[in-house]
Structure 1
Amino acid sequence: MIKTLLRIALGAFMLLAGIGHLTYARETFQAQVPDWIPLSKDFVVLASGAVEIALGLAMIFLTKQKKMVGLILALFFVLVFPGNIAQYIDHRDGFGLDTDTKRLIRLLFQPVLIFVALYSTDALKKLKK
């Protein structure tokens, strides 16, 4: 029961984040796109928002494929982590993260998100096989 609630909550979180990428927080999310990415920051934000919406829906509704969805979401969290690191290193404000301490604390939550994606979908069992 707790895993199901975590999976649905994480799916809802991803949906909200994805909607934010496409709408009200679009410019704020651009602060997380590292300068070394050779694409428009707006494109990266829009594309990642679409991916987040898809992953959020998958976390909630694709229960038969939940282990694979959990693995993909965990990988997504790993892939976007350089953006969070860039925000810290470049001292970029966004989402109320207006100090290095706040940005550093946020970095510590990325492994938590990865763990919740794997745990709530039983993807950890898939990794052990």
Structure 2
Amino acid sequence: MEAPGLYVGIPRTAQNIYTLKGPLIQGTIDQLKNESRCLLDQCVRYFSQYIDWMQQSVTTNVASCRSLPATLDNARVVVCDHVTDSWNGFWFCLGWCAILLIPNILLSIKSAQHIAPKPRLSETL
């Protein structure tokens, strides 16, 4: 009940599998590289298309209204020309010192009331 052809066919089949294994694996790797490259190129195209759309949208919709640049320019004029002028800067700083000093004095008085003085050693004896 032995099959002599079976013993001969098994090593030949194993050899055929080993022979096929190298090109099959290399072909699979090459196919995966190709598909990965195609996917990456497609993602780059989508991203560049999105960037182009954003640039076009900002230049036509945001920059065309001119309210934001005008507001920033007015803020620069107020800060640079009126506040940082020598006398205006002095009074501006003095005003901020007064504004910050008065609440700090009140806060220190209120917090000093909550801190109990430590008893002295001579008073405890």
Q: TM-score, normalised by structure 2?
A: 0.22
Larger radius of gyration: 2
Higher relative CO (CA 8 A, sep ≥ 6), structure 1 or 2? 1
Instruction: Decide which structure has greater helix share.
Output: 2
Q: TM-score, normalised by structure 1?
A: 0.22
